Amino acid sequence: MRHYGIDAFFEIGRGICHQVMVEENRVVPGDLVVGTDSHTTTYGALGAAGCGIGTSEMAYALATGKLWFKVPETVLVVLEGRLHPMVSAKDLVLFEMREIGSREAQYRSVEHAGPGTATLSLAERMTVANMGVEMGAKFSLFPSERTPTMRPGAGYATRHSIDLDALSPQVAVPHHVENVVDVDEVVGLHLDQVFLGSCTNGRLEDLHQAANILRGRTIARGLRMIVTPASSLVFRQAAEDGTLAVLAAAGAIVEGPGCGPCFGGHLGLLAPGERCLGTHNRNFKGRMGSPGAEIYLGSPATAAASALVGAIADPRESVVERVGQEAGR
């Protein structure tokens, strides 16, 4: 494979490519990255331009090392403030879907700037960049030392400003990712399944957030909770620090590293009439099994809180309740 410049192969069970590529420093700021998966936009978290392409385009890129691109216009998203506890980057990107939709950013770059970007961890930036493609974006970018954003005099197709302090937990309702509401609009909606994982929210930080809510508690009877770490490294780290034990003790089923139920390929498939809340990136009709099922999207905290009661729940209220109970013991 020397002709193609390929220097590594990954065995089955290694995990999702977007997670593994970042873990092994195979993408650095300023890179142009292409992959035959739409969520290649994830690499924008590092200040790299990543986008999904088709198999024919990939064959050409492998053979020649070149590809044709149209330079996209830019949608600027300025982030101010800091996310509150129990409000996460998943809530931020769902709110972006709510504000920007799936048309405004078609074949454009979504560029994040402002002081709020510095408050987001790499894992959080990956979550936001990952779902840029749901807006139709070619790239979803965050600043780095090599790739600063919001240059003086730069022109932008459109501009948005988001106050992170004002954000509340968000939920995408069927059957499109841009159908986003505040969590309180769907609180109490019965669930059959909760899914924690995917290339959007299967990182160690995500598992930690869920475990912090589930520790010492048990998920609702009759509900199945499926947890899929994004990579074998995340799986090992979560096993070593006790996170997987906490999730399993709460009643969750922990699967091997990978995509899990996200795309409806295996495990966690939904039957007609069933309802799932997941931390993945798409809630299209039929994506996780029967077209008669419903898929809701939320953060790891919302997923964990919802698993406890068997219905969509506000994670802020769940934490307050637990703290109050523990203080009264």
Q: What is the DSSP string of 252-307?
A: PEEPPSS-GGGGSSSSSPBPTT-EEEESSS---TTTTB-TTSEEEE--HHHHHHHH
What is d(CA 240, CA 229) in angstroms, rounded to the nearest whole number? Answer: 13
* Residue 80: its H or E element: strand 73-80
Give mean pLDDT, residues 292-312. Answer: 96
* Predicted confidence (pLDDT) per residue in 183-210, tens digit: 999 999 999 999 999 989 999 999 999 9
* Predicted confidence (pLDDT) per residue in 247-265, tens digit: 999 999 999 888 888 787 7
- pLDDT of residue 327 exceeding 50, the answer is no
* Predicted confidence (pLDDT) per residue in 226-247, tens digit: 999 999 999 999 999 999 999 9
Q: Read off the pTM.
A: 0.91
Residue 328: per-residue pLDDT: 39
CB 87 within 8 A of CB 70: no
**In sequence order, which ranges of the chain are alpha helices (DSSP H)?**
17-23, 55-64, 89-100, 122-130, 198-201, 204-214, 232-240, 243-249, 300-309, 315-328
Residue matched to tokens 């749901």: 134
What residue ranges define each of the domains in the chain, with the CATH number in brackets?
Answer: 10-61+70-166 (3.30.499.10), 170-322 (3.30.499.10)
What is d(CA 44, CA 29) in angstroms, rounded to the nearest whole number? Answer: 8
What count of Cα atoms within 13 Å lies in the side-chain half-sphere of residue 142? 26
